[in-house]
Chains A and B, each alone.
Chain A
Amino acid sequence: MSDPVVNVSDPVVKKAPDEAMELALRRIREADAAGKPSDLGGMALDQVVVNMGPQHPSTHGVLRLVVTLDGENVRDVIPVIGYLHRCKEKLAEKRTYYQYIPIVDRTEYVAGINCEWGYVLTVEKLAGIVPPRRAEFIRVIMAELNRIASHLIGIGTFVSDLSPLGTAVLFYMFRDREPVLDLLEEATGARMMFNYFRFGGVRFDLPPGWEQRCRDFLGRLPKLIDEYEKLLDRNAVYLQRTVGKGVVTRQDVVDYSLTGPLARAAGVPFDLRRTRPYSVYPELDFDVCTEQHGDVFDRYRVRMNELRESRKIILQCLDMLPGGPVQVGTLRPPYVITPPPGSAYTAQENPRGEYGTYIVSDGSRYPYRLKFRDPCFVNLQILPKLMRGNRIADAVAISGSMDLVLGGIDR
């Protein structure tokens, strides 16, 4: 199928295979052959296959949706992924455990610290390394700060797709994300790809004065969250576009193994920080934010509430922060560890859900097999089910509310 508008002379572009499109067309042909009627009372309608291609302002990354439309109603959605597949699992077999930490950062690039933590947890479990207490608290602080930054992006980009008011909210959220990135940059050295966690602790201690700056920011944060809620929570257009759309039921959560705000908005209190606690979370006091209906609006509410809960967690950690080293004393350059042969799977609560790492080690300096359990990869499977029956305009709202990061889906 050549594009009649663009003169495609590049043979690679002409030959690029497109099984997803052919699958969509095949399904239409089969449905027609089976004599399924369209919904508009006997009017013969042609179903149109529309390609929300890998480059699209609303898909938030290189996700391709092959949408079969019947007028404005969505009949079927085939998500096509793999446009950002960067061979991370194969690269793991060529890098030592330490050399791989920066690459794990780039898995879910919006929440880099959480991804590092998931990987580091598994290797520490395999190798039997226990980090010191101060390092554990610093890890929690950094992870929760990154959770705040990630939720700001997640909510902001989602509402920005719905309306220009949302783009204003996006501007405010990016403005408020800058202090968080400043704090992280002071402590770790980078704005986005932190490379901060080590097996047995963290790389640097907190700089002097950092705690006070963190408390200042957290003191300002509730007012900022109130500002966003004032703009959105009782906005009639926003409510009309989000309430009742894309409803995830509890049976879906169990069947499709959904995690994160997607599951919590449906009423399932699945939060790995409570159900499978790691680090110092058992000592911290916070609530698991759940809502009842599982629609798009509830997912937004869960993320907003989690902003406040993260703030609570960070304040508690700052109060309870002990002194001491931030890295286990035995690890020194050249930073090569060789965990004993075996396999382990640990999971960590990413802003998007359960981020798990399964490592098989054969006793050498390189992992034998590294497999990521990415929350967005698993959550994306339910997108066709949520979109069927809705309009194409809701498709943007639903896929935005799932907060997909393609770096994790494609690895």
Chain B
Amino acid sequence: MTAEIGTIVISMDELAVRLGEAFPGELADIRIQDPDTVIAQVEAAGLKGIARRLHDLPQIAFDSLTLISSVDYKTHFECVYHLYSFAANRYLELHVRVSRAKPVLDTVSDVWPSADWHEREAWDMMGIRFEGHPDPRRILLKDDWIGHPLRKDYVDLIENHPYV
């Protein structure tokens, strides 16, 4: 694998069109953010399949996951997957909505190994569970912390603070 950067020269509009064709109906609301990012909405149910196919796309494979952000809009959660294609030197942001009542997503750590710790952090901070994750433990807080701090309705309990 050579991992040369930017060997495929592709304009943003053409990239958006190609992605729309490769994933008909699954990538909704494709828009372009300057200078080199395509943003799209994805359904939570189809995430795993889309992830695998994005990773294996011919020519412009999005083979690298740089970040998974989790955002708490008060009515739902949203997971943002920031993907990067070495060959095309372009970024893709996938926004996945998750309900607050059942914040569960499929793990993508078997497609992109770098998702491992990002998913652990999303669980730790926001409480979004990833099914099939090999090591679902808290990562930044201590192991018996109660609650998920980055939620907007987080209340800090005294049990978390032996040293008041």
Contacts and interface: CB of A to CB of B under 8 A. Distances in A.
B1 A82 contact: no
A381 B86 CA distance: 20
Contact of A12 (B2, B139, B163): B163
A256 B3 contact: no
Contacts, number: 105
B114 A82 contact: no
Nearest to B162: A12
A285 interface: no
Interface string B62-105: 01111101111000000010101010010101000000000000
A373 interface: yes
A8 to B, nearest CB: 14
B46 interface: no
Contacts of A356: 66-67, 82
Contact of A268 (B3, B35, B135, B150): B3
A358 B66 contact: no
Interface residues of A, number: 44
Contacts of A411: 140
Contacts of B150: 89-90, 369
Interface residues of B, number: 45
Contacts of A276: 35-36, 89
A270 B33 CA distance: 21
Contacts of B37: 345
A369 B71 contact: yes
Interface in A324-347: 343-345, 347
Contacts of A23: 135, 137
Contact of B3 (A20, A82, A250, A380): A250
Contacts of A360: 71
B1 A250 contact: yes
A257 B3 contact: no
B67 A373 contact: yes
Contacts of A319: none
A34 interface: no
Given A89-B125, A90-B150, A345-B93, A255 B114 contact: yes
Contacts of A381: 113-114, 116-117
Contacts of B135: 23
A373 B121 CA distance: 12
Contact of B5 (A12, A19, A20, A270): A270
A410 B138 CA distance: 12
Interface string B119-146: 0000001000000000101111111100
Contact of A410 (B1, B2, B140): B140
B142 to A, nearest CB: 7
B1 A254 contact: yes
B12 to A, nearest CB: 13
Given A81-B140, A345-B37, A257 B1 contact: no
B66 A354 contact: yes
B93 A251 contact: no
Contacts of B143: 17-19
A267 to B, nearest CB: 8
B6 interface: yes
Contacts of A132: none
Contacts of A254: 1, 3, 63-64, 86
A405 interface: no
Contacts of A377: 117
Given A358-B69, A373-B67, A275 B139 contact: no
B82 A19 contact: no
A271 to B, nearest CB: 9
A156 to B, nearest CB: 28
A251 B1 contact: yes
Name the 5 nearest CB pairs between A and B, nearest first: A82-B140, A17-B143, A257-B114, A373-B67, A371-B69
Given A270-B5, A345-B82, A356-B67, 4 more contacts: A345-B37, A347-B66, A358-B80, A371-B67
27 contacts: A12-B162, A17-B142, A82-B139, A89-B150, A90-B149, A250-B2, A251-B1, A254-B63, A254-B64, A255-B113, A255-B114, A257-B66, A257-B114, A267-B3, A269-B5, A275-B5, A276-B36, A344-B33, A345-B37, A358-B67, A369-B69, A371-B70, A371-B71, A380-B117, A381-B114, A410-B140, A411-B140
